[in-house]
Chains A and B, each alone.
Chain A
Amino acid sequence: MKPIYRLILLIFLVQSPIIYADDYVLGHGYNSGSWNISGYATTELNLPHQRAANFTVNDFSIFIHGRVNRYINPFFEGEYANQTLWLEGAGVLSSGAGQFVLERLYNDSYFTDSVFLRAGKMLTPVGEWNLIHAAPLVATTIRPLTTYLNFSEFTSGGSLNYVAEHHSLLPSVILYYQPSEELLPKTLASSPYRYKNVSGLQLVYARDLDWRVGFSMQHSEVINRHEHQNLFSWDGRYDFDSFALEMQASYNRIVGNPKIRQRNDEWGGYLQLTVPVIDDWSLIGRGETFTARDAKSSQQNAVFAVNYRPNAALVWKLEYLFVKGATTNLNEGVYGSFGVMF
């Protein structure tokens, strides 16, 4: 081994504050020294009315997290997505390969215990769903349009984060900026807008795990449409007993190149209620309306789902999606999935 590599290895080992290993716990990943490797996998059986039924591995994700010292705390998440295993009318493994996606690659540097700088590719802080969008962590297989459709889901740049203390009157704050284009974006087929010059702010008030109120705003350029947009989003969650009520609403003002769209104002919102039934079973009901910039009319959709979650890291979901109005990304039908964090 070259002396310089030996030196780097030595510095790395010395900087690692603790070397320990504990027993493996499902969903907690595997620890080795100051590093943790984990991931999640989701398979979906989709039976939409007006499209071919399919059985798909819609995420096999690995994430690696290091906690080296105050200034070096790297995080990587890469996933293999959208691998159709069976497609109605085409058969098994007949519709090509899935895609490799770089979801996150960043480093956190702590200035104090509550202020840190994140640099790299990260999930954009708009609402709560986008930050925890892994299938085993969210209530339904179908994701509300409001939580991803009209803003940059990923930011490749930097963010300054302030984490508010418990019971503080101050909110947690994130300020972020992406000067150029997204690092290794998804294909245009799965993510049709390309953003640059993205800047934004998120404010979050939260009390334990009982309630959360968030406000997000984002300015961006949609470079492949020659548009500029200003998005404002509000989200909230309220847990009472074992019930959970959550919502997100957004308004987006679009300027530039008006001929390519139906309207300059885009808006949407959803309201979701989770009701525990027995033991590990719960029922979910959600209603959403979304008016997309390119659609002539709004879309209303409603999801009724049943979840079986025998472990926090593992969930089975079955749901029916009703759709009325414009067909914006969602198709009426039955959807089922199995998700596990490992």
Chain B
Amino acid sequence: MKNHTLLILVIMSLLSDVALATGNSMVIIANASVTINHLSLDEIKDIYLLHNRQWSDSSPIIVVNRPSNTQIRSRFEQQVLGIETKKYALHLEKMHYQGTTLPVIQESTQAVIAFVKNVPGAIAYIEGLPNNSQIKVLMELK
């Protein structure tokens, strides 16, 4: 009985995180430990091109990406980075060869939210507003 209750609580917790994570707006989210409250488009671009690897307090930026064949990643590349998919993918390979840590790939919105919630310094993009106090919204794009 105890186990069932725990399982239900975990499922409810996950659902509550993603319940509002729907809709058409794309939001840039970060772990609550990140000390800034807003990023400009250029700053987001710098982070996702891996040109900026540290937050202003010198803690590492943990960049989260979605797989390259997903709709939301294409939308992010087009709307935020302004770079076509193949060009961005090759750029990441080049940065990786030069010793730069690549973005962490997460397969689903739930996984992204769980990752950002739990990993200090994490930044990601999702569709819709998250409903979690451990996550802050740095920008909303319509």
Chain B residues within CB distance 8 Å of chain A = 42-43, 45-46, 49, 51-56, 58-60, 62, 67, 82-84, 86-94, 96-99, 101-102, 104-107, 115, 119-121
Provided the pairs A25-B105, A113-B53, A113-B54 are in contact, do residues A134 and B119 lie with their beta carbons within 8 angstroms?
A: no
CA distance A154 to B140 in the complex (A): 45
Q: Are A27 and B101 in contact (CB under 8 A)?
A: no
A132 / chain B contacts, CB cutoff of 8 Å: 94, 97-98
- A312 close to chain B: CB less than 8 A: yes
CA distance A96 to B119 in the complex (A): 50
- In the complex, what's the smallest C-beta–C-beta distance from B40 to chain A, in angstroms? 9
- Give 13 CB contacts A-B under 8 Å: A18-B62, A27-B96, A28-B96, A28-B102, A36-B101, A67-B101, A70-B58, A110-B54, A137-B90, A166-B51, A208-B83, A311-B89, A341-B97
Q: Are B67 and A25 in contact (CB under 8 A)?
A: yes
Q: Are B93 and A137 in contact (CB under 8 A)?
A: yes
CA distance A63 to B95 in the complex (A): 13
A31 / chain B contacts, CB cutoff of 8 Å: 104
Provided the pairs A22-B104, A22-B106, A67-B101 are in contact, do residues A312 and B115 lie with their beta carbons within 8 angstroms?
A: no
CA distance A79 to B58 in the complex (A): 33
Q: Are A208 and B93 in contact (CB under 8 A)?
A: no
CA distance A63 to B51 in the complex (A): 21
User: In this complex, what residue of A is CB-closest to B91?
Assistant: A209
Q: Are B97 and A163 in contact (CB under 8 A)?
A: no
CA distance A75 to B52 in the complex (A): 19
B51 / chain A contacts, CB cutoff of 8 Å: 163, 165-166
Provided the pairs A163-B51, A165-B46, A312-B89 are in contact, do residues A113 and B101 lie with their beta carbons within 8 angstroms?
A: no
The residue among B52, B84, B97, B105 with the most chain A CB atoms within 10 A of its own CB is B97
CA distance A17 to B61 in the complex (A): 11
Q: Are A166 and B58 in contact (CB under 8 A)?
A: no
CA distance A306 to B96 in the complex (A): 25
- A50 close to chain B: CB less than 8 A: no
- A200 close to chain B: CB less than 8 A: no
- In the complex, what's the smallest C-beta–C-beta distance from A147 to chain B, in angstroms? 15
CA distance A27 to B94 in the complex (A): 10
Provided the pairs A113-B53, A166-B43, A208-B49 are in contact, do residues A108 and B99 lie with their beta carbons within 8 angstroms?
A: yes
Q: Are B52 and A137 in contact (CB under 8 A)?
A: no
A70 / chain B contacts, CB cutoff of 8 Å: 58
- In the complex, what's the smallest C-beta–C-beta distance from A266 to chain B, in angstroms? 28
A17 / chain B contacts, CB cutoff of 8 Å: 59-60, 120-121
User: In this complex, what residue of A is CB-closest to B94?
Assistant: A132
Q: Which of B42, B93, B119 contacts A312 (CB 8 A)?
A: B93
- Please list the 5 inter-chain residue pairs (A to B) with the smallest Cβ-Cβ separation, ordered nearest first: A312-B89, A113-B54, A166-B46, A312-B90, A75-B99
